[in-house]
Amino acid sequence: MTADELLRWRCASRAAYQGRSVESIVADIAAARIAVRAAPRVVLRNLRDAICAQDMRGAHVPELPDAAALEGVCVIADGLPGRDNRVKIVCMGGSVAEIISFRDVWAPENGLTDIYAMPDRGLAGGYYSLR
């Protein structure tokens, strides 16, 4: 399967699951790609060369994971609330170095708790504590 075939399949399966048209999924991905490109960058770890991610916090962007993957960039974004309604922050689409930097540096420095990471899957997250 080519990358284009995979993208067409992904859009068709998401459209069927969500009860939407394929065209609306494609349009959301296109809009999300523009938003990702325009987003400010946040430094996850400052080494000789800074490790960064696109900062999508505060914006609801449908189809963000697909857009980040297509753009080949790591993003941090608001996640769905946890069962206890804590604010969740996710880091997705990252390289192993980006995910580890989020987990080991950025998340603890920014007050996140219950931090988790799956570097080989390009995903991490954590929660702001309840006050």
Task: Tell me, letter by letter, the H, E, C secondary structure of the chain.
Answer: CCHHHHHHHHHHHHHHHHCCCHHHHHHHHHHHHHHHHHCCEEEEEECCCEEEEEECCCCCCCCHHHHHHHHCCCEEEECCCCCCCCCEEEEECCCHHHHHHHHHHHHHHCCEEEEEEEHHHCEEEEEECCC
Strand pairing report for 88-92 and 75-78:
antiparallel
d(CA 60, CA 77): 9
CA distances, 38 to each of 31, 42, 112, 114 (Å): 11, 13, 25, 30
Q: What residues of the chain score a pLDDT lower than 50?
A: none
Q: Do 77 and 36 contact (CB within 8 A), yes or no?
A: no
Model pLDDT, residue 61: 94
Q: What residues contact 20, with CB distance under 8 A and at least 6 apart?
A: 14
Q: How many CA atoms lie within 13 A of 3 on its CB side?
A: 3
pLDDT at residue 126, rounded to an integer: 95
Look at residue 81 in the predicted model and tell me its pLDDT.
76
Pair of tokens at residue 69: 């993957």
**Residue 131 has what pLDDT?**
58
Beta bridge partners of 54: 41, 75
Mean pLDDT (the chain) is 92
Position 96 scores a pLDDT of 95
Total domains in the fold of the chain:
1
Domain region containing 119:
3-128
pLDDT in tens, 51-74: 999 999 999 999 999 999 999 999
